[in-house]
Structure 1
Amino acid sequence: MTDREPFRTRIKVRHYELDTLGHLNHAVYHSYGEVSRLELLEAAGALKGLPGVASVLLETHVKFRRELRAGDEVDVTCDVKFGTGKTFRMDSTIIKLDGTVAAEITCTLGLMDLERRKLVEDPRGRFEAAGADLKVLSTAE
């Protein structure tokens, strides 16, 4: 276990993202998770050095905890969990500035060989070989 905090991205809820009930549309929670995932990959240097390979989202699940309304600011965390095999997890928590958890997002991803259209083995090893900072990607490193 680690005391390190996961990567965070701050996002402000915009009026056009609201549904008819006046709170954040359910699909936008997924978008906020995607923003945080891409910001994390960029911060870790994981978007460079992987020619012909790209991350691909295989599954995503959101647990909605509290509503978000226009003008709310949130921090969206992101943390990678590597295991064995071809997939890895990227978990996010959407947190209001007062510390209230608004949502939890769990995603399963893989790295796809863009020519073969198949997932590659050992995504952690591929990120490491590409020069990505694994300590930025994952609090478990």
Structure 2
Amino acid sequence: MTDHEPFRIRIKVRHYELDSLGHLNHAVYHSYGEVARLEALAAAGDEKLREARLAPVLLESRIVYRRELRSGDEVDVTCEVAFGEGKAFRMSSRIIKLDGTLSAEIECTVGLMDLDRRKLVPDPRGHFERAQVDLQVLSAG
């Protein structure tokens, strides 16, 4: 964990994203997490990774639902990265209502793929650093 706020993006729940019970469809929570991941990577300068023919790929996603979301709710979706050993790293998101209520937590396992070889590369953090991706934006600094 770092001493600064994680990346966040605000999203408004749309009526067409609701399920038959009138709350946000389960799959849309995952979509909100994906929006936060893509926006965080873009803000950190991931185009430099693409120039190096590398791209993050989602390997696993797990969500814990805490509170329902309904049409018109606005939420902040956070995104933080944690690197460890090996080829995979973690990207986590929290979906938080504007009143501070935690609606969901998403944990993703991600790898960095060599787009030519179609294989994961070792040391993803090192590749991020060499591509001059701003790890502070990703809360991994």
Q: Give the TM bin, normalised by the shorter chain.
A: over 0.9
The equivalent of 2:77 in structure 1 is: 76
Provide, for residues 89-129 of structure 1, a one-character-per-residue CA deviation record: whole Å limited to 9, x for no partner.
00000000000000000000001111211100111111111
Q: TM-score, normalised by structure 1?
A: 0.95
Q: Which runs of 5+ in 2 are unaligned?
A: none
Residues 118 and 49 of structure 1: is their aligned pair in 2 closer, same or farther, counting only changes over 3 Å? closer
**Which deviates more from structure 2 when the two are superposed, residues 30-39 or residues 110-119?**
110-119
Pairwise CA distance, 1:53: 1.3
Contact 2:7 2:40 in 1 (8 A): yes
The equivalent of 2:35 in structure 1 is: 35
The equivalent of 1:118 in structure 2 is: 119
The equivalent of 1:16 in structure 2 is: 16
CA distance in 2, matches of 1:24, 1:18: 4
1:8 counterpart letter in structure 2: R
Aligned length: 140
Provide, for residues 36-61 of structure 1, a one-character-per-residue CA deviation record: whole Å limited to 9, x for no partner.
00000001112324332111000000
Runs in 1 of length 4+ with deviation above 4 angstroms?
none
Q: TM-score, normalised by structure 2?
A: 0.95
Q: Which runs of 5+ in 1 are unaligned?
A: none
User: Percent of pairs identical after alignment?
Assistant: 73
The equivalent of 2:133 in structure 1 is: 132
Provide, for residues 53-106 of structure 1, a one-character-per-residue CA deviation record: whole Å limited to 9, x for no partner.
111000000000000000000000000000111010000000000000000000
Residues 4 and 34 of structure 1: is their aligned pair in 2 closer, same or farther, counting only changes over 3 Å? same
Secondary structure (helix, strand or coil) at the match of 1:103 reads strand
Pairwise CA distance, 1:3: 2.5
The equivalent of 2:108 in structure 1 is: 107
2:28 counterpart letter in structure 1: V
